[in-house]
A and B are shown apart, each in its own frame.
Chain A
Amino acid sequence: MSLVAELRTVLGSEDVLEEPVELHLFSKDASLMRGRPTCVAFPENAAEVSSVVQIAEKHRVPIVARGAGTGLAAGASPTAGGIVMVTTAMTDIEIDPANRTAWVGAGVINLDLSKAAKPYGLYFAPDPSSQSACTIGGNVANNSGGPHCLSEGSTTSHVLGMEVVLAGGEIVVLGGEAPDPIGLDLKGLIVGSEGTLGIVTKALVRLLPIDPDVRTLLMDFPDVETAAKTVSDVIAAGLVPAALELMDRRMCEVVENWLKAGLPTESAAVLLAEVVGETEGVISEAEVISGIALSNGAYGVQVADTESERALLWLGRKSAFGAIAQLAPDYYLHDAVVPRTRLVETMSAIYEIADRYDITMLNVFHAGDGNLHPLIAFDSSDEELNERVHRAGDEIVALCLSVGGALSGEHGIGIEKRDMMRLNFTDLDLDAQARLKEVLDPAGVFNPTKILPEGSRCFDYGGVRREMPDGVWV
């Protein structure tokens, strides 16, 4: 039986697509890389996913799990072909207010979870900019972050358990409401593995109580460096705000032109800070942050007085990538992380790179985490420009790693950054990671060719070597 026919016996014919136009729709995620899937499958539960895995292993075809396709690193682009397995039919939410947890289907949209939790006074902390579209399954696969993971951590800090389909179609529940499950933390390994080790069908997530009070501050600066210095100084002062986001002038201009969110467009940089907690705490923390900003030369500090003002400021921040469409049809984006003490020098050097390559670069990023998002707006049909953009991108990444940074803070490696992994890790480190993949996906069907560069496992360690004469130890 053909692959598609066999999948249809399990999922029904309407849940397996193979028309060219349908395949084209699922041929890429939000990155620039397109693949060619054999078919698109929509399983509704772990049992169906298990059957799909077994069929894929039998036919030796890849499975590329996909939520909303908002990933930026081609993690969900079927670049090696195979089955694109869409999780959006798995949308159950079961909230457990007493334990402050929820079992959530992989296809649930991030924001829908927080909306469902709101009546209980709870919310889900990870809030990627794409939160109105992206799914929990995608968040788990990419260990997604967002502005508010500065104080609360990325997705991995909020996944307490999972239902996951492993190689051979084995369905396993890992973790649970009780803390510290015994044995190796496979769940912690699977979060962030971009669908390469198994398919998460449900996640047990931690919900946090909604903070009683919040202050959102908008500070504008004469240059990006003083804004970046303010970020470093706030952290050094012992404050960990809920969020600390930086936008440069060009970014503010395109957002304002589109949304009129109230961002200043005359200043070189805008810093958005949010402090949460009880009223006494947020008032004093907001004062400290204002004081640091003003002493660093901020033009001014505005505090959002109402929930609607606050919402508008965040809308401006979270719509930044969408606003780019006004400038150019494509954007190329890295998300390297640098130590927060190196922000000022790194930002200066990044602008210097953009000038040297004569490219249009905008910056909007999670400054509090040191997670940069230098965004290059361009037209990918211009081959010469395309080449320049990618060379500039490579140089930016190399710069970030040279100051002690890491390749990706929240977008993942996928294919886009795969071949840069060697800049971040030694051969032995990559070999160790490849061993994890080998053990959990012996048939090689789970999103192959992603994360690890080719040859990662080929490193010849040589096993146990004899460096001392026989008989010395025994």
Chain B
Amino acid sequence: MTYTPHHIARFGVGIEGGPTSGMALAPREEKDLALILRHASERDLVVQVWGGGTHSGFGKPPPPDLVVSMEHFGEIEVWEPDDLTIVVGAGARIADVESRLAERNQTLVMSERPSGGTIGGSVAAGMSSLRRGRLFGIRERVLEVTMITGDGRTVRSGGRVVKNVTGYDLHRLAVGAFGSLGVIISVCLKLWPTPPSSATVTLDDPEEAQLVARPLAVLDVNGAHKLFTWGTEAEVEAHLDRLGGIAVPGLDWPEDPSGEWRWSLRIPPALVSEAVDRVPDGWTYVAVMGVGEIRAASADHEGAADLREWAESLGGSLVVAAGDPDLFDPWGSPPPALDQQRRLIAQFDPRRVINPGRLPGGL
């Protein structure tokens, strides 16, 4: 491939820690990104979209010809604190936005330990907060998505209001779609107020979690059961009076498990305890009680096939979040309605240039 100096000067960047193959471009404006995608479509180039790189281990896309960095789409476009909504560029880092929101005691309810993760990346990967048992997952936070389709059209779905049934929910389809419909450039999110008081309790007895009605989160962190609560001071104090164990003020979220291999196990919520028993020896994990999501890490993939078979028998899945896709299939059995999914994607990315093959079923 050759690029004119003009285009390299205009878009070309180096991405620290980014993919090693492919030409890295960092468009500054929507029309430039649309141009890149149109030309990629025209030339059948493989495009990888780069936010913070925190979800780059999902799926198995071919090596990219072009890497598009979203770093210039990182602005907070509209923040209406009194409306509990924010419109923010996809490339904005979750941690940066959260620290702005904290000034007004608000939160995105996205990843608690985002490291360098971006909003667009988390939405595209469908990654939810650990608080999802109380405040639901990422799909319930996304009010509007603006994206540029694989063939360069700017399409918006949803709206900047907290309740909306106007038209088809294309924005819900874009959550967890790994960019297969288009590159998300901005999203409107429903914010949530952060109450004045909070605490983290390491429970002596996991059953004690029942003593709090709808806690913010209950996590099993490598066998230690932690209950997270927030509310008015009176509420939190009442919870602490009721619960045994060791309490610390504030929300002491665990780090995501780290290792050569990272996993997302998804099973019916009633079976989390059984799932934890089935996790192979040597794996570390954070299990979200009452939800059925277990994040885990390991040095290798030994035992993963059995775990996946069990999860799939329950309608769940064991997804590789990082690892070697040539050694262990990243998704497992494909989901239903694969043909419909393929045909939907073809309407948005007809030449299949963005992350081709990254979705389950090789889509």
Point out residues on A near B: beta carbons under 8 Å.
Answer: 96, 98-100, 142-143, 145, 149, 153-154, 156-157, 166, 172-174, 176-186, 188-189, 191-193, 197, 208-209, 211-212, 232, 235-236, 238-240, 277-278, 280-281, 283-285, 337-341, 366, 369-371, 404-413, 417, 421, 424-426, 428-433, 435-440, 451-452, 461, 463-468, 472-474
Which residue of chain B has its CB nearest to the CB of A171? B336
Contact in complex: A211, B213 (CB < 8 Å): yes
Nearest CB on B from A334, distance (A): 12
Which of B128, B152, B153, B166 makes the CB contact (< 8 A) with A424?
A: B166
* A176–B315 alpha-carbon span in the complex (Å): 6
Jot down 8 A-B pairs with beta carbons below 8 A, ordered by A.
A174-B337, A178-B267, A178-B292, A179-B269, A238-B194, A278-B213, A429-B156, A436-B173
Contact in complex: A154, B335 (CB < 8 Å): no
Which 5 A-B pairs have CB atoms at the shortest separation, nearest pair first? A238-B193, A178-B316, A188-B172, A177-B268, A183-B335
Contact in complex: A184, B359 (CB < 8 Å): yes
Beyond the given A100-B290, A209-B214, please list 13 additional residue pairs across the A-B interface where CB-CB is below 8 A. A98-B270, A99-B270, A153-B136, A154-B163, A180-B264, A181-B317, A280-B231, A340-B84, A406-B164, A436-B173, A439-B340, A464-B151, A473-B39
B207 within 8 A of A: no
Contact in complex: B165, A186 (CB < 8 Å): no
Contact in complex: B159, A424 (CB < 8 Å): yes
* A239–B193 alpha-carbon span in the complex (Å): 7
Which residue of chain B has its CB nearest to the CB of A191? B169
Interface size class of B (residues with CB under 8 A): 35 or more
- List residues 278-310 of chain B with CB under 8 A from any CB of chain A: 290-293
A188 in contact with B153 given A157-B140, A182-B317, A473-B3 (CB within 8 Å): no
User: Which residues of chain B are within 8 angstroms of A413 by Cβ–Cβ distance?
Assistant: 165-167
User: Which residues of chain A are within 8 angstroms of B164 by Cβ–Cβ distance?
Assistant: 337, 406, 408-409
Nearest CB on A from B82, distance (A): 4
* A197–B136 alpha-carbon span in the complex (Å): 26
Contact in complex: B170, A189 (CB < 8 Å): yes
* A33–B329 alpha-carbon span in the complex (Å): 53
Which of A143, A153, A188, A235 makes the CB contact (< 8 A) with B82?
A: A235
Nearest CB on A from B87, distance (A): 10
- List residues 202-258 of chain B with CB under 8 A from any CB of chain A: 212-214, 231-232, 234-235, 237-238
B60 within 8 A of A: no
Contact in complex: B166, A406 (CB < 8 Å): yes
Contact in complex: A178, B360 (CB < 8 Å): no
Contact in complex: B165, A412 (CB < 8 Å): yes
User: Which residues of chain A are within 8 angstroms of B332 by Cβ–Cβ distance?
Assistant: 182
* A409–B4 alpha-carbon span in the complex (Å): 49
Contact in complex: B331, A177 (CB < 8 Å): no
- List residues 97-135 of chain B with CB under 8 A from any CB of chain A: 105-106, 126, 128, 132
Nearest CB on A from B108, distance (A): 15
Nearest CB on A from B67, distance (A): 15
Which of A421, A465, A474 makes the CB contact (< 8 A) with B166?
A: A421
* A212–B106 alpha-carbon span in the complex (Å): 26
Which of B140, B266, B334 makes the CB contact (< 8 A) with A178?
A: B266
* A173–B132 alpha-carbon span in the complex (Å): 24
Which of B1, B80, B214, B337 makes the CB contact (< 8 A) with A339?
A: B80
- List residues 1-56 of chain B with CB under 8 A from any CB of chain A: 1-4, 7, 35, 38-39, 41-43, 45
Contact in complex: A179, B235 (CB < 8 Å): no
Which residue of chain B has its CB nearest to the CB of A451? B167
User: Which residues of chain B are within 8 angstroms of A174 by Cβ–Cβ distance?
Assistant: 336-337
Contact in complex: B165, A143 (CB < 8 Å): yes
User: Which residues of chain B are within 8 angstroms of A239 by Cβ–Cβ distance?
Assistant: 193
* A404–B237 alpha-carbon span in the complex (Å): 41
Which residue of chain B has its CB nearest to the CB of A406? B159
Contact in complex: B170, A433 (CB < 8 Å): yes
* A278–B237 alpha-carbon span in the complex (Å): 12
Which of B42, B45, B341 makes the CB contact (< 8 A) with A464?
A: B42
User: Which residues of chain A are within 8 angstroms of B84 by Cβ–Cβ distance?
Assistant: 235, 240, 340
Which residue of chain B has its CB nearest to the CB of A180? B266
A461 in contact with B153 given A182-B335, A188-B139, A284-B235 (CB within 8 Å): yes
Nearest CB on B from A29, distance (A): 16
Nearest CB on B from A418, distance (A): 10
B319 within 8 A of A: yes
Contact in complex: B335, A181 (CB < 8 Å): yes
Nearest CB on A from B126, distance (A): 6
User: Which residues of chain B are within 8 angstroms of A99 by Cβ–Cβ distance?
Assistant: 268-270
User: Which residues of chain B are within 8 angstroms of A181 by Cβ–Cβ distance?
Assistant: 266, 317, 335
Contact in complex: B167, A410 (CB < 8 Å): no
Contact in complex: B175, A188 (CB < 8 Å): yes
Contact in complex: A409, B269 (CB < 8 Å): no
* A143–B139 alpha-carbon span in the complex (Å): 14
B261 within 8 A of A: no
Contact in complex: A189, B172 (CB < 8 Å): yes
Contact in complex: B168, A184 (CB < 8 Å): no
Contact in complex: A465, B169 (CB < 8 Å): no
B195 within 8 A of A: yes
Contact in complex: A468, B232 (CB < 8 Å): no
User: Which residues of chain A are within 8 angstroms of B351 by Cβ–Cβ distance?
Assistant: 464
B157 within 8 A of A: yes
Contact in complex: A370, B163 (CB < 8 Å): yes
* A181–B172 alpha-carbon span in the complex (Å): 13
Stretch of B69-77, B88-96, B342-350 that contacts chain A: B342-350
* A216–B9 alpha-carbon span in the complex (Å): 62
* A337–B190 alpha-carbon span in the complex (Å): 15
* A178–B360 alpha-carbon span in the complex (Å): 17
Contact in complex: A179, B293 (CB < 8 Å): yes
Contact in complex: A432, B155 (CB < 8 Å): yes
* A276–B336 alpha-carbon span in the complex (Å): 39
Contact in complex: A178, B317 (CB < 8 Å): yes
B199 within 8 A of A: no
Nearest CB on A from B321, distance (A): 12
Contact in complex: A474, B213 (CB < 8 Å): no
User: Which residues of chain B are within 8 angstroms of A235 by Cβ–Cβ distance?
Assistant: 82-84
Contact in complex: B269, A177 (CB < 8 Å): yes
Contact in complex: A153, B140 (CB < 8 Å): yes
Nearest CB on B from A463, distance (A): 7
* A63–B98 alpha-carbon span in the complex (Å): 47
User: Which residues of chain B are within 8 angstroms of A176 by Cβ–Cβ distance?
Assistant: 268, 315-316
B137, B166, B192 interface centre (most CB from chain A within 10 Å): B166
Which of A183, A191, A432 makes the CB contact (< 8 A) with B361?
A: A183
Contact in complex: B80, A432 (CB < 8 Å): no
